[in-house]
Amino acid sequence: MARRKKVYEGKAKILYEGPEPGTLIQYFKDDGNAGSNTASTGLEGKGVLNNRLSEFFMSGLNGIGVPTHFIRRINMREQLVRMAEIIPLEVVVRNFAAGGISKRLGIPEGTPLPRPIVEYYFKDDKLGCPLVSEEHIIAFGWASQQDLDDVVALALRVNDFLSGVMMGVGIRLADFRIEVGRIWEGDYMRLIVADEISPDSCRLWDVRSEGESPAREPGPLQDVYTELARRLGVLPSNV
């Protein structure tokens, strides 16, 4: 059997050349995590669950007309995706204060934000992915003003979809991160959601364990990968 060509290896995933031009195979590892669930690193079966969960969210988004790179799941750990030119930004949408925004602005964790807030972080691990403004992004040519307007519209549609799906299974989506890529269809360029949508890149709170008081006590979800997959009904039979 011919060896596949590895295109990229990150903390949590490997990308291989896909079977058709313009496609890639995305392999989900158990290791690594760019997001807030650092306790999960190396958790056995995490990659299998994230492959299923990302399939669930991305195909749901495709189904409501929010374009993503997802084409189909191939096996337990791999999915076929469209190759996109990734914009070097981590796009974070926040509904409740937590993590970075609580530290930076002194807002208590769990405070509902007046509206969803979209933030950009420059995708550079060596620099620790610093928060950047639209001014930086446009001045340094990482994206145009038009791209950013489209990124915000895309991110807010993803937020509405994910928040609704999560709330349907008793989970509050405090915040999440997406990556956005460009694809060309003839002369026409459009932006699509790339990478993955999984507990690695979302901050999820269990509604059932929240306090009764108006100052909501954020209750983290225990064993977030299995619990989310179980509630959404996408738990593979052998996990």
Q: Is 177 near ligand C5P (CB under 6 A)?
A: yes
Query: Is the Cβ–Cβ distance between 183 and 82 less than 8 Å?
Result: yes
What count of other Cβ atoms lies within 10 Å of the Cβ of residue 198? 29
Q: Would you say 22 or 130 has its CB closer to ligand C5P?
A: 130
For ligand C5P, the binding residues in 45-104 under the rule CB under 6 A are: 90, 92, 98-100
Smallest distance, ligand C5P to C-beta of residue 127, A: 11
Q: Is 159 near ligand C5P (CB under 6 A)?
A: no
Query: Is the Cβ–Cβ distance between 118 and 155 less than 8 Å?
Result: yes
Q: Which residue is nearest to ligand C5P (CB)?
A: 99
Q: Would you say 72 or 126 has its CB closer to ligand C5P?
A: 126
The stretch near ligand C5P (CB under 6 A) out of 44-52, 162-170, 200-208, 227-235 is 200-208
What count of other Cβ atoms lies within 10 Å of the Cβ of residue 88? 17
- Give dist(CA 213, CA 217) in Å, integer: 8
Q: Is 202 near ligand C5P (CB under 6 A)?
A: yes
Exactly one of 27, 70, 96, 176 binds ligand C5P (CB under 6 A); that residue is: 176
Q: Would you say 18 or 225 has its CB closer to ligand C5P?
A: 225
The stretch near ligand C5P (CB under 6 A) out of 31-39, 110-118, 213-221, 227-235 is 31-39
Query: Is the Cβ–Cβ distance between 61 and 161 less than 8 Å?
Result: yes
Q: Is 129 near ligand C5P (CB under 6 A)?
A: yes
Buried b (16+ CB within 10 A) or exposed e, 172-196: bbbbbbbbbbbbeeeeeeebbbbbb
Q: Is 36 near ligand C5P (CB under 6 A)?
A: yes
150 burial (CB, 10 Å; 0-12 / 13-18 / 19+) is middle
- Give dist(CA 92, CA 9) in Å, integer: 23
Q: Would you say 34 or 132 has its CB closer to ligand C5P?
A: 34
Residues that bind ligand C5P (CB under 6 A): 34-36, 90, 92, 98-100, 129, 175-177, 201-203
